[in-house]
Amino acid sequence: MKRRGGPGVLNALAWLGLALLTASFLVLTLQPPRQIPRGAMQQRVREPFAVVVIDPGHGGADSGAMAGNILEKDLTLDIAHRLEQRLASEGVATVMTRVGDSYVALAERAALANRANDAVFISIHVNDGSRALATGVETYFAAQQNTPATRLASWLPFLQKVSQQAPNVQSQSLAGFIQQALVTQTHATNRGTKAEQFYVLANVRHPAVLVETGFLTNKDEADKLCDANYREQIAQAISSGVLKYREALRGQRAIEGGSE
C-alpha cells in the first residue's frame, strides 16, 4: 500500500528543495575566496625535507683559513646564523652543528645530520688559495655518499654494484641551485659545482653540499667577506638556492603523482 502526501505537499517540498539549493549556491558563490594560511598549507603537503642542517665550518682551536686577524671560523659562523634567520623567516626548520666558537669534530657533525630525518645538509666555508689571484664561489657535492645503507651493501657484493652506480643526484642538484643563486646575488666569479669526497659530504646520508663563499687569500674578496652586507647577501643566496631546490622537488613529486 502506497502512502501519498498529495500533489500539493509534493509541490511545496519540490519548491522548498529548489529554494534551498539556490540559497546554498548563492552563499557559496558570493563568499570571498578564503585565504589558506601559508603554514596550514605547508603542513598538509609533505615537504621534500623537514629540516636544514647548517654546518659552520671549523671552530674553537680550528680557525680554518686566516688573513691577518680575519678567521674563517668567525665568518662561517656569522653566515650560518644569517642563513638560519633567513630560513626561519621562510618557515624552514634548521639545526646548527655549532652555535658558538667551539670545536666540533667532522664525525660529530655528520652524526648530528644523520640523526635528523628528511634533512638537507649545508656546510659553509671560506676558501684559501695558493695563488692570491684565486677568486670566486664554488659549491661541492660528493659523487658517492657512504650512507649506512651503502656500508651494509659493501658486505653484500650483489648490492655493492647498485650502490656504486648511484651518484647522489639530489646533492648535485642542491649544489647547482645554491651555486646559481650565489653567482646571481654576489656577482662573484663562478667556479661552478664540483664533486669532492669531503668527509662531511661523503658521510652524510642526506642531500649534502659544501659552499666555499670566497677566498680569504684574495684581498678584494677578503674585504667583501668582512662586510656584513656581503655576508647577508651570501646567506640570502644560499637560502634562495635551498628554496628553489625544494620547489624543484615539489614539482618532480607532483609529476610522479606524489610520494605518499
> Taking CB under 5 A as the criterion, which residues in 6-25 touch Zn ion?
none
> Of the two residues 59 and 64, which places its CB atom closer to Zn ion in the complex?
64
CB of 72 to Zn ion, least distance (A): 5
> Of the two residues 64 and 241, which places its CB atom closer to Zn ion in the complex?
64
Q: Which residue is nearest to Zn ion (CB)?
A: 125
- Cβ-proximal residues to 227 (8 Å cutoff; 6+ apart), any chain: none
> Of the two residues 64 and 136, which places its CB atom closer to Zn ion in the complex?
64
Distance, in Å, from the CA atom of 202 to the CA atom of 131, rounded to the nearest integer, reads 28
CB of 256 to Zn ion, least distance (A): 37
For position 214 contacting Zn ion by CB under 5 A, the verdict is: no
CB of 108 to Zn ion, least distance (A): 16
> Of the two residues 200 and 249, which places its CB atom closer to Zn ion in the complex?
200
Contact 145, 203 (CB under 8 A): yes
CB of 162 to Zn ion, least distance (A): 33
> Of the two residues 93 and 99, which places its CB atom closer to Zn ion in the complex?
99
Amino acid letter for position 180: Q
Cell (9 digits) for 249? 622537488
CB of 65 to Zn ion, least distance (A): 6
Cell (9 digits) for 106? 667532522
> Of the two residues 57 and 176, which places its CB atom closer to Zn ion in the complex?
57
CB of 215 to Zn ion, least distance (A): 11
Distance, in Å, from the CA atom of 232 to the CA atom of 84, rounded to the nearest integer, reads 11
Sign of the CA dihedral with 150 first, then 152, 154, and 159 last:
negative
> Of the two residues 82 and 246, which places its CB atom closer to Zn ion in the complex?
82
Q: Go through 34-73 and write b for each residue having 16 or more CB atoms within 10 A of its CB, e for each that does not.
A: eeeeeeeeeeeeebbbebbbbbbbbbeeeebbebeebbbb
Torsion angle of the four alpha carbons 114, 194, 225, 239, in this order, in degrees rounded to the nearest 10? -50
Radius of gyration of the chain (CA): 27
Binding mask 27-66 for Zn ion (x = CB under 5 A): ------------------------------x------x--
Binding mask 92-131 for Zn ion (x = CB under 5 A): ---------------------------------x------
Residues in contact with Zn ion by the rule CB under 5 A: 57, 64, 125
